């Protein structure tokens, strides 16, 4: 099957009738997720290619309401790297994150438990529900507010967090096993390959706000891009899942 045909079947290609400004409301209400949590990690890095493992040094997450396009809550911490505790000059220049900020940060294990508590708070206070893989394709009940994660590329959740948790034998919340890759969604929807997150925004006439490679600013700008794509008629769907299908319950509990 051609990529275009597959994209059409997945509802990823822009429908001509939905692209005009006047269709804003109806396009947005098609979404299966009432909220998306946008994540963009920053990690240790070096100018020269090394075989050092990368560790998360900034862990931001922003909660995007898909109907209003507003960010309703944010989680943010700096994280202490432990395998290579001293940041390279290159890393500080790229990300703007200083040695002082990571030393004042917390280990990843504590960050993950604080993040889980933030998610539990969102579940309790806002009624958000995180669907598990086997029930993902079924229609949510009207009272449920379905929520999933969204990142720019598969690197954040499929590589960076996944391998760091494996190496350090940390428990990763199950909900982080599936997500929407906005980069591949963008490629299919607009049928073009963007030059990075900033290039993707620029192609749509949107200016990047804040500092590129700051995790929090990258997350907010990714949310802005996702919001614009939904206004253009893109229906956000999970693109990647690390889970094996099991006989477990319909929604994830956070632990």
What residues are annotated to the active site?
A: 42, 213
State which H helix or E strand residue 151 sits in.
strand 145-151
Measured from the CB atom, the residue of 88 and 144 that comes closer to Mg ion is 88
Nearest distance from C-beta of residue 177 to Mg ion, angstroms: 19
* Residue 224 within binding range of ligand AMP, rule CB under 6 A: no
Is 72 in contact with 63 (CB distance < 8 Å)? yes
Which residues lie below 8 Å from residue 244, measured CB to CB, with a gap of 6+?
A: none
Which residues lie below 8 Å from residue 253, measured CB to CB, with a gap of 6+?
A: none
Q: Which parts of 76-105 interact with Mg ion (CB under 5 A)?
A: none
- Residue 96, both tokens: 């703007």
- Residue 63, both tokens: 């909660």
Cβ atoms < 10 Å from Cβ of 250: 13
**Which of Mg ion, ligand AMP, none interacts with 177 (beta carbon under 5 to 8 A by kind)?**
none
Give the Cα separation of 165 and 113 in Å (integer): 13
DSSP3 helix / strand / coil % (the chain, rounded to 5):
40, 15, 40
**Which of ligand AMP, Mg ion, none interacts with 148 (beta carbon under 5 to 8 A by kind)?**
none
Measured from the CB atom, the residue of 94 and 254 that comes closer to ligand AMP is 94
Nearest distance from C-beta of residue 51 to Mg ion, angstroms: 21
Q: Which parts of 214-233 interact with Mg ion (CB under 5 A)?
A: 218
Give the Cα separation of 144 and 130 in Å (integer): 10
Among 123, 218, 234, 252, binds ligand AMP (CB under 6 A): 218
* Residue 58 within binding range of Mg ion, rule CB under 5 A: no
Among 45, 64, 102, 225, binds ligand AMP (CB under 6 A): 45
Measured from the CB atom, the residue of 155 and 241 that comes closer to Mg ion is 155
* Residue 164 within binding range of ligand AMP, rule CB under 6 A: no
**Which of Mg ion, ligand AMP, none interacts with 43 (beta carbon under 5 to 8 A by kind)?**
ligand AMP
Measured from the CB atom, the residue of 164 and 218 that comes closer to Mg ion is 218
Cβ atoms < 10 Å from Cβ of 169: 7
121 conformational bin, left if phi > 0, alpha if psi -120 to 50, beta if neither: alpha
Contact stretch for Mg ion (CB under 5 A) within 68-76, 135-143, 211-219, 238-246: 211-219
Q: Which parts of 24-43 interact with ligand AMP (CB under 6 A)?
A: 40, 42-43
Residues 66-105 as x/- pattern, contact with ligand AMP by CB under 6 A: ----------------------------xx----------
Give the Cα separation of 179 and 61 in Å (integer): 13
Cα angle: 187, vertex 191, 197; to 5 degrees: 35
Give the alpha-carbon dihedral of 160, 65, 175, 56, to 10 degrees. Answer: 20
Nearest distance from C-beta of residue 129 to ligand AMP, angstroms: 28
Q: Which residues here bind ligand AMP, judged by CB under 6 A? A: 40, 42-43, 45, 54, 94-95, 213, 218
């Amino acid at each position: 099957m051609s990529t275009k045909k597959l994209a059409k079947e997945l509802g990823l290609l822009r429908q001509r009738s939905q692209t005009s400004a006047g269709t804003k409301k109806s396009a947005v209400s098609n979404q299966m997720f009432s909220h998306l949590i946008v994540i963009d990690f920053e990690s240790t890095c070096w100018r020269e290619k090394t075989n050092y493992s990368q560790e998360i040094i900034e862990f931001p997450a922003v909660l995007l309401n898909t109907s209003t396009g507003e960010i309703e809550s944010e989680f943010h911490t700096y994280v202490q790297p432990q395998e290579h505790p001293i940041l390279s000059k290159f890393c500080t220049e790229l990300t703007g994150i200083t040695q002082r900020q990571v030393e004042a940060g917390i280990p990843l294990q504590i960050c993950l438990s604080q993040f889980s508590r933030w998610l539990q708070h969102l579940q309790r206070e806002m009624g958000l529900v995180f669907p598990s893989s086997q029930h993902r394709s079924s229609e949510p009940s009207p009272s449920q507010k379905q929520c999933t994660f969204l990142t720019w590329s598969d690197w954040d959740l499929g590589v960076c967090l996944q391998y760091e948790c494996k190496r350090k034998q940390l428990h990763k919340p199950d909900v982080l096993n599936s997500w929407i890759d906005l980069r591949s969604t963008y490629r299919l929807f607009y049928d073009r390959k963007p030059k990075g997150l900033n290039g993707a925004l620029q192609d749509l006439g949107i200016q990047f706000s804040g500092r590129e490679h700051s995790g929090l600013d990258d997350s907010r700008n990714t949310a802005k891009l996702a919001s614009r794509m939904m206004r253009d008629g893109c229906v956000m769907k999970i693109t990647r899942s690390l889970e094996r299908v099991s006989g477990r319950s319909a929604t994830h509990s956070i632990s």
